[in-house]
A = this chain, B = another copy of it.
Amino acid sequence: MAGSTFGNYFKITTWGESHGKALGVVVDGCPAGIPLTEEDIQKFLDRRKPGQSRYSTPRKEDDRVELLSGVFEGHTTGAPISMIVFNKSQRSADYSEIAGYYRPGHADYTFDLKYGFRDYRGGGRSSARETIGRVAAGAIAVKLLNRLGIDFTTYTQAIGPVSIDPASFDAAQIPLNPLNMPDAAAAERAAAYLDECRSAQDSSGGVVECIVSHMIPGLGDPVFEKLSANLAKAIFSIGAVKSFELGDGLAAARARGSENNDAFRSTEDGIRKATNHSGGTLGGISDGSDLLLRVGIKPTPSIFATQQTVNKSGEPIEINIKGRHDPVVVPRAVVVVEAMTALTIVDALFANMHAKLSSIESFYDRRA
């Protein structure tokens, strides 16, 4: 199946392998008239760049994006926007050995089953480098949403057992620590935990949260194209994601109706919910309160410790994965979660424009 396209209206198609010539994305359905430069995109890509701290891979990935189409005189034209990042640091030699066996926790086995063989250099399409295209496209989506007043706050909520303390939440901290945590003290504890993992030749999972504020209400379409449902898909399409929650999430399942219901009240800005257990949607449609989503990410499967597995012939072997790998991918996943969230919202935003006859009539009014 053609699985490399996301979105119905604002549609992105990513391509490229970690060790091929290049990776990229085509963004189709982008409205004309958005001011856009390579620098706008680069800023987002830099947020997923490895090698920024000792908690991410020491690979040098000087990923420079090039805009190849869809922009003219500094503005989007409505034509598809093609963006490309050439691969520079491909040490395929590191990977030749893994061609013959199946790494636990990786997609080697399933790709071989499905396609009969695989591009074994660094995971091919299941590599985290595939997210370059998502982030480049997400940069445009975020820019568009920012113009409409919508803001994103995305961060590491937990690394392994170390969570942030909600009472110490400080968004300004997010870019100040290499783990992107909004709590400096938690970031230090998490760093210590990661050092411990590294010493043990092990890796850690974690949790990313994304808050979307000043949301436009009415986005999402009953019954299968709920905003919540498309967010779930968007987030679960990111490699390593194992859980997705909206608002109180799993905690709501433990709660009673009287605790979980958000009462409506009148405010100066109109009708609002007094609380936000629902996480920003009702019936899957945005209700104007903040979107709040929580994403559980598994520990990096590439660990330095010896592991049991089999080779392609099914013979049991012991392996030691070499190469350069992140002991934790969570901080780098922050911008990917933000990108996928923004792409989903833009899609719902466009879809909502023809929900009412009166909107269509005023849009196309030709009497004047």
- For the complex, is A212 an interface residue (Cβ under 8 Å from B)? no
Contact (Cβ within 8 A) A253 B206: yes
> How many A residues are at the interface, by size bracket?
35 or more
- Tell me which of B147, B246, B284, B299 contacts A239 (CB under 8 A): B284
Residues on B with C-beta less than 8 A from A82 are: 15-16, 22, 24
Contact (Cβ within 8 A) B105 A278: yes
Q: How far is the CB of A200 from chain B (nearest CB, A)?
A: 8
Contact (Cβ within 8 A) A11 B22: no
How far apart are the CA atoms of A259 and B299 in the complex, in Å?
A: 9
Residues on B with C-beta less than 8 A from A364 are: 148, 216, 349
Residues on B with C-beta less than 8 A from A296 are: 245, 249-250, 252-253
Residues on B with C-beta less than 8 A from A282 are: 105-107, 109-110
Contact (Cβ within 8 A) B358 A4: no
Contact (Cβ within 8 A) B249 A243: yes
Q: Which of A1, A274, A285, A357 has the most CB of B within 10 A?
A: A1
State the main secondary structure of chain A at its contact with B: mixed
Contact (Cβ within 8 A) A257 B223: no
Contact (Cβ within 8 A) A15 B228: no
Residues on B with C-beta less than 8 A from A166 are: none
Contact (Cβ within 8 A) A287 B68: no
Q: Which of A233-259 contact B (CB under 8 A)?
A: 233-237, 239, 241-250, 252-259
How far apart are the CA atoms of A341 and B352 in the complex, in Å?
A: 24
**Could you give 23 example pairs across A and B, Cβ below 8 Å?**
A1-B351, A5-B11, A9-B354, A15-B81, A21-B66, A32-B114, A32-B356, A78-B111, A109-B264, A110-B286, A113-B217, A113-B288, A114-B355, A202-B257, A223-B237, A228-B236, A242-B252, A243-B252, A253-B296, A260-B301, A266-B316, A271-B310, A359-B363
How far apart are the CA atoms of A235 and B243 in the complex, in Å?
A: 12
Residues on B with C-beta less than 8 A from A7 are: 2
- For the complex, is A222 an interface residue (Cβ under 8 Å from B)? yes
- For the complex, is A45 an interface residue (Cβ under 8 Å from B)? no
- For the complex, is A197 an interface residue (Cβ under 8 Å from B)? yes
- Tell me which of B13, B255, B256 contacts A13 (CB under 8 A): B13
Q: Which of A114, A116, A242 has the most CB of B within 10 A?
A: A242
- For the complex, is A232 an interface residue (Cβ under 8 Å from B)? yes
**Assuming A254-B161, A308-B263, A357-B31, is B218 touching A110 (CB within 8 A)?**
yes
